[in-house]
């Protein structure tokens, strides 16, 4: 009788533990599901409802995004976003934004997407989520043509190296300084300004993306004869379109249209148009 009683207790204990684990699993799933509340574009809009996308971008990052003097944005990424919007009948509101705070602007709801040569990386993906990648590049250290020093000598010169504030080049400069290299960082508001600092002699080098430098020098051949690439930093990176984590419907629609565009002849036409082929 006692043996039977003990057996019943053991069975009850096992079932209780199993139920406890199951409930804990449900609780964990609910916690994950509640991690991000439903966002502005989490679900499809109601039938007939106009979709207005506030598009944030860097106003001076050719050839991807550039604000013309008349206030019209142009560039590779502008063309891509316009094509996506046309496919779905969305309305685009263009909103240039300071690059150093553009991720916070997306998080806070001031803008809905970032498509402006935005690098898909681990620190950013902890805050915002990305589309499928659409372009790859490498980071480069650029100096004046007559500067024949090695990359090591340049980074240990104690001289200024220009970067765009808030960019991945800025992050690279911080990592290099943290690892023991000896130079001074000159933070500016764009890659164009960083290149100009090199040409003006305010910096001895600047860190840039090949996605910016190559096309920019193609469009300004007089500058190509004045600079050289002293070296590259790290592995290739990719650009993607950034959205808020909770805006799943918007991200899915962007991915659908972006992959369709990349698989079409129009993609190569866009690359050639902006010197990115």
CB distance 58 to 97 below 8 Å: yes
pLDDT at position 24, please? Answer: 43
Tell me which residues of the chain have a pLDDT lower than 50: 1-34
For residues 173 and 167, what is the distance between their CA atoms, to the nearest angstrom? Answer: 10
**Domains, the chain, ordered by start:** 52-134+240-273 (3.40.190.10), 137-237 (3.40.190.10)
- What is the maximal distance between C-alpha atoms in the chain? 98
**CA neighbor of 244 nearest in space, from 105, 92, 129:** 129
pLDDT at position 39, please? Answer: 79
**What is the per-residue burial (b if ≥16 Cβ within 10 Å, else e) of 144-163?**
beebeeebeebbebeebbbb
pLDDT at position 82, please? Answer: 98
Q: Integer distance in angstroms from the first to the last C-alpha of the chain?
A: 83
């Amino acid at each position: 009788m006692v043996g039977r009683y003990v057996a019943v207790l053991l069975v009850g204990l096992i079932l209780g533990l199993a139920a406890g684990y199951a409930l804990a699993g449900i609780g964990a799933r609910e916690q994950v599901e509640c991690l991000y509340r439903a966002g502005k574009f989490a679900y499809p809009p109601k039938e007939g409802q106009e979709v207005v996308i506030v598009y944030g971008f860097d106003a001076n990052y050719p050839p991807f995004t550039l604000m013309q003097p008349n206030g019209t944005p142009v560039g590779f990424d502008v063309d891509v976003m316009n094509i996506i919007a046309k496919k779905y009948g969305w309305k685009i509101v263009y909103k240039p934004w300071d690059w150093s705070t553009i991720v916070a602007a997306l998080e806070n709801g001031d803008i809905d997407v970032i498509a402006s040569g935005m690098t898909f990386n681990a620190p950013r993906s902890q805050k915002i989520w990305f589309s499928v990648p659409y372009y790859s590049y490498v980071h480069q250290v650029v100096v004046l043509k007559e500067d024949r020093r090695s990359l090591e000598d340049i980074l240990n010169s104690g001289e200024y190296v220009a970067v765009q504030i808030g960019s991945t080049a800025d992050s690279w400069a911080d990592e290099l300084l943290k690892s023991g290299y000896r130079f001074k960082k000159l933070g500016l508001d764009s890659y164009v300004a960083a290149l100009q600092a090199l040409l003006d002699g305010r910096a001895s080098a600047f860190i840039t993306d090949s996605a910016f430098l190559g096309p920019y020098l193609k469009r300004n051949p007089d500058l190509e004869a004045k600079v050289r690439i002293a070296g590259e930093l790290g592995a290739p990176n990719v650009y993607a379109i950034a959205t808020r984590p909770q805006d799943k419907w918007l991200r899915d629609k962007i991915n659908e249209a972006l992959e369709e565009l990349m698989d079409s002849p129009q993609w190569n036409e866009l690359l050639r148009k902006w010197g990115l082929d």
